[in-house]
RNA sequence: GGGGGUGUAGCUCAAUUGGUUAGAGCACCGGACUGUCGAUCCGGAGGUUGCGGGUUCGAGUCCCGUCACCCUCGCCA
């Protein structure tokens, strides 16, 4: 193998005349009978190699090269003659006239080639991930991800944070998401759980006097994946002692600013702050996308006058009516609005009343029912000709918010109302600490049960849990939740009260979280933290909509790794050692 | 667990109402060609239409089941 002197993106006309050696993969070959061209690709780019028949040995070897063969070559860097340069290639002004080539490894004919992988199905890409990752797009994502973690580590080092690893084999705490379990051989019948997050360890680290902790931490949640969710994912996990929420937010904002600057050379503006209730009321979401309007407008009082039974019935039952005005939405066909109505039902509303604005008044749909109040409606919604009005109606206000919030996102996408050039970041704060589960009639923690209530709300914890606000903050970027954090409870009595409220008596709480309660008793400082999602940050930076694209070796929706074929059955001897026996009949191959 | 979508050559796709031997581009193999750069030209090979069953004279196409992948509801403290 020749000693590599340059990368394939490195050479230009200043290198003309130099002897160089390159190594990489055959991106494409063009055999002209006499002269043979090879596009040689490495991590950094592509350089054209030319083989002349005069170098019989090298030319003979080059003749046999095919896509994805691995070669090293030596030759002379030459400037291309006038008219022979390739403006599509960064190194298109030069080529390497090769006099020696060594085939380091032949490749089987690949199922697809990195050069022409656009449009190749994801299933085949995941099966041959080692080929897929050779694509420049995937290399760019891997590089971005590295840049991000490097910036994070540098930044937190400068601020005096310690990077500390926490265990992957943890105690199972059945609250929250479903745990991945790992059987213990030494304690047969007992199990570890993989961490859903290092939450409790980092709080213990605060009790341990670390003061500033950070970790790029793998987290595991055994729940069904989504486009932006994977059972195994990565968080930038951090925690600080003696801080206010504002200080954690400032530190987080700082790292986000530096990441966007370092990777994209973008100066993010200062992040505005919005209260949870405002986000829900105006956008129907706790992660509002501020790049477009389509705000939810409460029209309950206006439509009350119209005596449209669908609306009045809901309001009499304690509900509300909200509307969004969709600019240009009148071009949607009846079929399309019917589809929207059907789709929106999954969020709990009975349908989607709509009407269009034409000639300065309402037309079609529910127009005739709203005739008496049309003027007030148009004015309140600032609607004009060509707009579509969509109404969310339910006896439960949160159902209206959810349904219209989801509709808002879908319409913005489909009608292309999103300004793709913007970065709209904001903090959402003042979340309720608890939410009421209608099924069980119990209260549960909206974030997690270690989030501190606002000090002024501690008195009403038991008397009015629904009104308690937590010291919780989420960072939202372009409609995606990127970080979630809070000030924690550091007083064991308060923590015990929260456990009780959530239905864990002292003994159960002690069994599950005894170590945390103990730590709180022995001088735990006030502390708080946050956990930015690394995968989602990289998704935003690289403009990907699929979390699998930013993970080197991701899993499918059924948790399978198509490359390694995990998960897979294990041998009887392994099970025996763990004293495990599958209860289900193993499916035949 | 529920809803929706996809599955045809190595890859991306086509195939009229159920009707002859399931086609095309790229890749592959052979040949030609000394300046291409997604090379070109000539020729060739390549198919369990995801799998199993059913209806039919006849199924890629219709029906039932099943598997895989994608989106989504539930779920995700």
Give pLDDT tens digits for A308-363.
999 999 999 999 999 999 999 999 998 899 989 999 999 999 999 999 999 999 98
Distance A556 CA to B23 C1' (A): 33
Q: What is the pLDDT of residues A529-576, one digit of tens each?
A: 999 999 999 999 999 999 999 999 999 999 999 999 999 999 999 999
- What are the residues facing A476 on neighbouring strands? A426, A481
Query: Does the nearest atom of strand B lie within 7 Å of A227's Cβ?
Result: yes
User: Does one domain contain both A459 and A512?
Assistant: yes
- List the structure tokens of A221: 């949640």
Mean pLDDT over each residue of chain A, to the nearest integer: 94
User: Does one domain contain both A322 and A441?
Assistant: no
- List the structure tokens of A562: 């198509």
Backbone angles phi, psi at A531, to 5 degrees: -140, 90
Distance A64 CA to B29 C1' (A): 13
Please provide the distance, in angstroms rounded to a whole number, between the alpha carbons at the two ends of chain A.
44
Do A323 and A381 touch, CB atoms closer than 8 A? yes
User: Does one domain contain both A542 and A459?
Assistant: no
Query: Does the nearest atom of strand B lie within 7 Å of A31's Cβ?
Result: yes
Do A355 and A366 touch, CB atoms closer than 8 A? yes
Q: How far is CA A206 from CA A213, A391, A465, in A?
A: 8, 49, 28
Backbone angles phi, psi at A235, to 5 degrees: -120, 145
Judged by average pLDDT, the poorest of A106-115, A116-125, A402-411, A536-545 is A116-125
Distance A123 CA to B56 C1' (A): 35
Q: Establish if A75 belongs to a structural domain.
A: yes
pLDDT, residue A173, reads 83
Q: Which stretches within A217-333 are classed as H helix?
A: 245-264, 276-283, 300-304, 309-316
* Residue A332 CA neighbour count, 13 Å, CB half: 26
- Beta-strand pair A94-105/A46-51: parallel
- List the structure tokens of A576: 């025996």
**CA–CA gap between residue A39 and residue A45 (Å, rounded):** 10
- Position A586 confidence tier, pLDDT thresholds 50, 70, 90: very low
Distance A135 CA to B71 C1' (A): 25
**CA–CA gap between residue A282 and residue A161 (Å, rounded):** 38
User: Does one domain contain both A408 and A429?
Assistant: no
- CA A196 to mean position of chain CA atoms: 16
Scanning residues 397 through 416 of protein chain A, those with a beta carbon under 7 Å from any atom of strand B turn out to be 406
pLDDT, residue A201, reads 97
Q: Is the pLDDT of residue A433 over 80?
A: yes
Distance A85 CA to B14 C1' (A): 38
Scanning residues 36 through 75 of protein chain A, those with a beta carbon under 7 Å from any atom of strand B turn out to be 37, 39, 48, 50, 52-54, 66-67
Q: Establish if A129 belongs to a structural domain.
A: no
Distance A556 CA to B56 C1' (A): 39
Domain boundary residue among A393, A414, A435? A414
pLDDT, residue A584, reads 62
User: Does one domain contain both A360 and A432?
Assistant: no
- Cis peptide bond upstream of A131, omega within 30: no
User: Does one domain contain both A408 and A305?
Assistant: yes
With tokens 């309950």, the residue in question is A300
pLDDT, residue A583, reads 73
Q: What is the pLDDT of residues A438-495, one digit of tens each?
A: 777 889 999 999 999 999 999 999 999 999 999 999 999 999 999 999 999 999 999 9
**CA–CA gap between residue A373 and residue A90 (Å, rounded):** 63
Q: Establish if A208 belongs to a structural domain.
A: yes
Scanning residues 359 through 398 of protein chain A, those with a beta carbon under 7 Å from any atom of strand B turn out to be none
Distance A52 CA to B44 C1' (A): 29
User: Does one domain contain both A143 and A86?
Assistant: no
- List the structure tokens of A283: 């956008």
Q: Is the pLDDT of residue A243 over 80?
A: yes
Q: Establish if A113 belongs to a structural domain.
A: no
Distance A58 CA to B36 C1' (A): 18
Q: Establish if A123 belongs to a structural domain.
A: no
The bases of strand B with some atom under 7 A from any protein CB are: 1-2, 10-13, 26-29, 32-40, 68-77
Scanning residues 103 through 142 of protein chain A, those with a beta carbon under 7 Å from any atom of strand B turn out to be 109, 111-113, 115-116, 119-124
CATH value at residue A388: 3.30.1360.30
User: Does one domain contain both A265 and A159?
Assistant: yes
Nearest protein residue to nucleotide B2, judged by CA and C1' positions:
A346
Query: Does the nearest atom of strand B lie within 7 Å of A449's Cβ?
Result: yes
Using the CA of A177, which nucleotide's C1' is the nearest one? B76
Closest CA relative to residue A514, chosen from A498, A527, A496: A496
Q: Establish if A130 belongs to a structural domain.
A: no
- Mean pLDDT for the stretch of residues A276-305: 96
- List the structure tokens of A320: 């509300």
Give the domain extent around A365.
Answer: 292-414
User: Does one domain contain both A338 and A247?
Assistant: no
CATH value at residue A65: 2.40.50.140
CATH value at residue A218: 3.30.930.10
- Mean pLDDT for the stretch of residues A22-30: 96
Q: What is the pLDDT of residues A384-414, one digit of tens each?
A: 999 999 999 999 999 999 999 999 999 999 9
Query: Does the nearest atom of strand B lie within 7 Å of A560's Cβ?
Result: yes
User: Does one domain contain both A211 and A333?
Assistant: no
Distance A335 CA to B16 C1' (A): 27
Domain boundary residue among A105, A123, A153? A105
Scanning residues 236 through 295 of protein chain A, those with a beta carbon under 7 Å from any atom of strand B turn out to be none
| Residue % of chain A over a pLDDT of 90 | 90
Number of domains in chain A: 4
Domain boundary residue among A414, A447, A467? A414
Nearest protein residue to nucleotide B67, judged by CA and C1' positions:
A589
- Mean pLDDT for the stretch of residues A189-217: 97
Distance A269 CA to B61 C1' (A): 57
Q: How far is CA A99 from CA A55, A96, A252, A580, in A?
A: 6, 9, 54, 62
Q: Establish if A112 belongs to a structural domain.
A: no
Stated as kind and residue range, the H or E segment containing A41 is: strand A36-41
pLDDT, residue A462, reads 94
User: Does one domain contain both A466 and A506?
Assistant: yes
Instruction: Tally DSSP H helices, then E strands, for chain A.
Output: 17, 22
| Residue % of chain A over a pLDDT of 70 | 99
User: Does one domain contain both A182 and A253?
Assistant: yes
pLDDT, residue A18, reads 96
**CA–CA gap between residue A520 and residue A490 (Å, rounded):** 6
Q: Establish if A582 belongs to a structural domain.
A: no
Scanning residues 178 through 197 of protein chain A, those with a beta carbon under 7 Å from any atom of strand B turn out to be 178, 196-197
Q: Is A17 in a helix, a strand, or coil?
A: coil
Q: Is the pLDDT of residue A186 over 90?
A: yes
């Amino acid at each position: 193998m020749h000693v590599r002197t340059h990368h394939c993106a490195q050479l230009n006309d200043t290198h003309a005349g130099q002897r160089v050696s390159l190594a990489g993969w055959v991106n494409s070959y063009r055999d002209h009978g006499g002269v043979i061209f090879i596009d040689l690709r490495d991590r950094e780019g592509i350089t054209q190699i030319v083989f002349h028949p005069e170098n019989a040995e090298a030319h003979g070897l080059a003749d046999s090269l095919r896509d994805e063969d691995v070669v090293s070559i030596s030759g002379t860097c030459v400037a291309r003659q006038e008219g022979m340069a390739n403006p599509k290639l960064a190194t298109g002004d030069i080529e390497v006239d090769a006099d020696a080539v060594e085939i380091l490894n032949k490749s089987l004919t690949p199922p697809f080639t990195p050069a022409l992988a656009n449009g190749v199905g994801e299933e085949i890409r995941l099966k041959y991930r080692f080929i897929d990752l050779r694509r420049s797009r995937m290399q760019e994502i891997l590089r971005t991800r590295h840049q991000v973690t490097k910036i994070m580590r540098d930044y937190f080092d400068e601020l005096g944070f310690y990077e500390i690893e926490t265990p992957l084999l943890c105690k199972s705490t059945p609250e929250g998401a479903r745990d991945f379990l790992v059987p213990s051989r030494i304690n047969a019948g007992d199990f570890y759980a993989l961490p859903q997050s290092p939450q409790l360890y980092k709080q213990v680290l605060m009790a341990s006097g670390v003061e500033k902790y950070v970790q790029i931490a793998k987290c595991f949640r055994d729940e069904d994946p989504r486009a932006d969710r994977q059972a195994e994912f990565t968080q930038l996990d951090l925690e600080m002692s003696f801080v206010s929420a504002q200080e954690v937010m400032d530190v987080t904002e700082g790292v986000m600013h530096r990441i966007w600057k370092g990777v994209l050379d973008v100066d993010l503006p200062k992040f505005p702050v919005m209260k949870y209730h405002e986000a829900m009321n105006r956008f129907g979401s706790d992660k509002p996308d501020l790049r477009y309007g389509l705000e939810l407008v409460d029209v309950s009082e206006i439509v009350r006058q119209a005596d449209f039974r669908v609306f009045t019935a809901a309001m009499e039952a304690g509900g509300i009516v909200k509307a969004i005005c969709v600019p240009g939405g009148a071009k949607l066909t009846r079929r399309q609005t019917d589809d929207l109505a059907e789709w929106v039902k999954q969020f709990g509303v009975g349908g989607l009343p709509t009407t269009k604005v034409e000639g300065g008044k309402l037309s079609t749909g529910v127009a005739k029912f709203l005739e008496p109040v049309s003027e007030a409606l148009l004015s309140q919604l600032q609607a004009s000709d060509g707009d579509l009005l969509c109404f969310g109606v339910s006896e439960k206000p949160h159902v209206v918010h959810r349904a219209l919030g989801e509709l808002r996102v879908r319409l913005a996408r489909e009608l292309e109302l999103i300004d793709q050039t913007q970065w709209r970041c904001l903090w959402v704060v003042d979340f309720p600490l608890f939410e009421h589960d209608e099924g069980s009639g119990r209260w549960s923690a909206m974030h997690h049960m270690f989030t501190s209530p606002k000090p002024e709300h501690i008195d009403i914890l038991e008397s009015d849990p629904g009104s308690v606000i937590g010291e919780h903050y989420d960072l939202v970027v372009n409609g995606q939740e990127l970080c979630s954090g809070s000030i924690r409870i550091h007083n064991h009595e308060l923590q015990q009260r929260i456990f009780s409220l959530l239905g864990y008596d002292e003994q159960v709480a002690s069994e599950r979280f005894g170590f945390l309660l103990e730590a709180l008793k022995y001088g735990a400082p006030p502390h708080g933290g946050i956990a930015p999602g690394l995968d989602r940050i990289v998704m935003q930076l690289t403009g990907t909509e699929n979390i699998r694209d930013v993970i080197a070796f991701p899993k499918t929706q059924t948790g399978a790794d198509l490359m390694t074929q995990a998960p897979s059955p294990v041998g009887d001897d392994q099970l025996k050692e763990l004293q495990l026996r599958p209860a289900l009949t193993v499916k035949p191959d």
